Amino acid sequence: QKEVEQDPGPLSVPEGAIVSLNCTYSNSAFQYFMWYRQYSRKGPELLMYTYSSGNKEDGRFTAQVDKSSKYISLFIRDSQPSDSATYLCAMSDRDDKIIFGKGTRLHILP
């Protein structure tokens, strides 16, 4: 089993819809959970950073971590065409390197 599983998509949703992006993982030692957004021909940009379980909200973005299910989510409300990008989940434990998912390509249709 891969350490981090992420559906590559592409995921296409109409403008204004709520987007749900997800990753599952196998290593129960992971404590730090991140979401990165990567536009075409650019490097990944840190979007959300959470520690341990719970929710974190930042504007239209909400990150959720469920450590009991080893499942993390990123929700995007009122999605915009400018949200079209690849979203990568990433996670690490205290002392180890970050493990990235493959990324989900998201298209917001005007």
Partner 1 sequence: ETGVTQTPRHLVMGMTNKKSLKCEQHLGHNAMYWYKQSAKKPLELMFVYSLEERVENNSVPSRFSPECPNSSHLFLHLHTLQPEDSALYLCASSQDLKGGSQYFGPGTRLLVL
Taking phi first (over 0 means left), then psi (-120 to 50 degrees means alpha), and beta for anything else, what does residue 22 get?
beta
# residues contacting partner 1 (CB under 8 A): 26
Number of C-alpha atoms within 13 angstroms, CB side, residue 107? Answer: 7
Is 68 among the residues that bind partner 1 (CB under 8 A)? no
17 vs 99, beta carbon nearer partner 1? 99
User: Does 103 sit near partner 1 (CB under 8 A)?
Assistant: yes
Q: Could you tell me which residues come within 8 angstroms of residue 88 by beta carbon, excluding any fewer than 6 positions away?
A: 6, 35, 36, 37, 38, 44, 100, 101, 102, 103, 104
Task: Pick one of 14, 41, 59, 68: the residue that binds partner 1 (CB under 8 A).
Answer: 41
| Shortest Å, Cβ 71 to partner 1 | 18
Sites of contact with partner 1 (CB under 8 A): 4, 8, 31-32, 34, 36, 41-46, 49, 88, 92-103
